[in-house]
A and B are shown apart, each in its own frame.
Chain A
């Protein structure tokens, strides 16, 4: 199933991107080569050293919305601009992008490769008599294939993120693998697992009750409950390694692995610390109010996940995958 989900994420993404770009191109969503008019307030006139007009432009919200065929602008668009006369006689316009810039323009700037500046060319300028104000028309630089560019950079960024995340695990991973090894040698995990055998033998009937995997899984679930993410992941991976030692068919998930994974994906935790921290930062009067509701929600997820995993593992379709002969080249993890 993962194969299909994975490939559909990519294909749907690509199709939507191509579709959106073709639509943008045919309806000229970004108004390429169409001049927009703004009123200009001149702050500084050109000097010999600095041949540029500095000032601010203003476009009313209605004009901006009408021009782009959107409704998102609520207040007049006011931005700092720099008008520079180039050697070829044209005048370029550079708009500084800041927090008050409309999203539509922000996206444009990002797309053109410069987050901080939106560039274009002045097509007409008409100064008032005192040269303090002007009406200016300008065309912003062409923007094309927005979504295709976005998915390209997303693919590259996320590939890098994946490596950063993985390598970031090395330290905590080593720490917990070392600690667990000590616990194993000292026979501590066996003591721990004996206490919970009635529960674990039901959840993981295929795993011997005194196997080190059980100890690691208990510790992982405990760490998850307490919200200790730095400890939970290494302990979970340790548990997976132990489970893999009794995997008859390497490269394929066993029933115990699937059950353990579902417990982890349901993410039952006593204190949803991240959500509480954000609530507090957003000025909630009672950030902790979601503790009970989150435990209920994650409890639903855990129960539903466990019931599903136990039903699905009995289906012939999933049983077959575990029983068939291992293929050559899949036993490299032995």
Chain B
């Protein structure tokens, strides 16, 4: 069942981009759009968008870099330990839960380490990979998406994003405990 689902999604994922390109350009030709000229016209903004993101991403990544390098994470983990113990989140996975919204590469490294130490099919291994897949790198997405259009006042996006991260982590813990026990 899982295998079938996985195969279907895999096929769709592999075929998606070629099919979308074919459909879009084919549709354009059918509607007598000057596809090449229009494509180039649209594509020329690519550089500007990428450059616009730079200051936002620099600000975000530097702050996260300083925070991580200082070792402040260990202190936050210690402060949160009564809460995380209460809900049954294994102590080893707390840094991963905290780092997941901050840094994609950092949390990837932590997840890999946890699986190396505890085994990929152990409860911690399954939980950590579920946690990794249960949310995105909120701070990165925020900097990139809002940076591209010069949004400085982010209003309620960050609090809502953080609530989503917490819900994702709790959801991962809940479902893993039900399905894989421990």
Contact = CB atoms under 8 A, between A and B. Distances in A.
Do A and B associate with each other? yes
Interface of A: 1-2, 5-7, 9-10, 12-14, 16-17, 20, 147, 150-151, 153-155, 157-159, 161-163, 165-171, 173-175, 177-188, 219, 222-223, 226-228, 231, 233-234, 236-237, 240-241, 243-244, 247, 250-253, 257-258, 260-262, 264-267, 269-272, 274-276, 278-279, 282-294, 296-305, 308-309, 312-313, 315, 318, 321-322, 330, 332-333
Given A228-B16, A291-B6, A147 B133 contact: no
19 contacts: A2-B158, A6-B59, A16-B72, A20-B70, A147-B71, A151-B66, A158-B62, A181-B43, A187-B31, A228-B17, A231-B17, A236-B145, A240-B149, A241-B149, A296-B175, A301-B134, A301-B167, A309-B156, A312-B156
Contacts of A309: 156-157, 160
B156 A313 contact: yes
B129 A297 contact: no
A188 B69 contact: no
- Sorted from nearest, which 8 A-B pairs have the closest CB atoms? A181-B42, A297-B134, A174-B46, A300-B171, A272-B133, A267-B136, A305-B164, A301-B168
A293 B28 contact: no
A19 to B, nearest CB: 9
Interface of B: 2-3, 5-6, 9-10, 12-13, 16-17, 20-21, 23-25, 27-28, 30-31, 33, 35, 38-47, 49-51, 53-54, 57-72, 75, 101, 108, 111-112, 115-116, 119-121, 125-126, 129-138, 141-142, 144-146, 148-161, 163-172, 174-176, 179
A7 B60 CA distance: 10
B42 A266 contact: no
A309 B164 CA distance: 10
Contacts of A253: 146, 151, 153-155, 157
Given A13-B72, A174-B44, A228-B16, A186 B27 contact: yes
B154 A6 contact: no
Given A158-B62, A252-B155, A266-B136, A237 B145 contact: yes
B2 A288 contact: yes
A260 B134 CA distance: 17
A234 B145 CA distance: 9
With a 10 A CB-CB cut-off, give which of A171, A301, A312 has the most chain B CB atoms: A301
A13 B157 CA distance: 24
Contact of A163 (B21, B58, B154): B58
B16 A223 contact: yes
B162 to A, nearest CB: 9
| Of B42, B71, B115, most A-chain CB atoms within 10 Å | B42
A290 B148 contact: no
Contact of B66 (A13, A20, A187, A252): A13
Residue of A233, A267, A315 most packed against chain B (CB within 10 A): A267
Given A163-B54, A282-B115, A301 B165 contact: yes
A185 B121 contact: no
B35 A182 contact: yes
Contact of A186 (B28, B58, B121, B141): B28
A168 B47 CA distance: 10
User: Which secondary structure characterizes the binding site on chain A?
Assistant: helix
Given A158-B61, A182-B38, A169 B53 contact: yes
B155 to A, nearest CB: 5
B172 A293 contact: yes
Contacts of B67: 9-10, 12-13
Given A270-B9, A301-B168, A305-B163, A292 B149 contact: no
Contacts of A162: 54, 57-58, 60-62
A20 B161 CA distance: 31
A148 B24 CA distance: 53
Given A159-B62, A297-B131, A226 B9 contact: yes
A24 B146 CA distance: 40
Among B43, B62, B137, B142: residue with most chain A CB under 10 A: B62
Nearest to B21: A179
Contacts of B28: 182-183, 185-186, 188
Given A173-B49, A305-B164, A322-B155, 9 more contacts: A13-B72, A147-B70, A167-B54, A174-B43, A241-B45, A258-B157, A261-B157, A284-B120, A312-B156
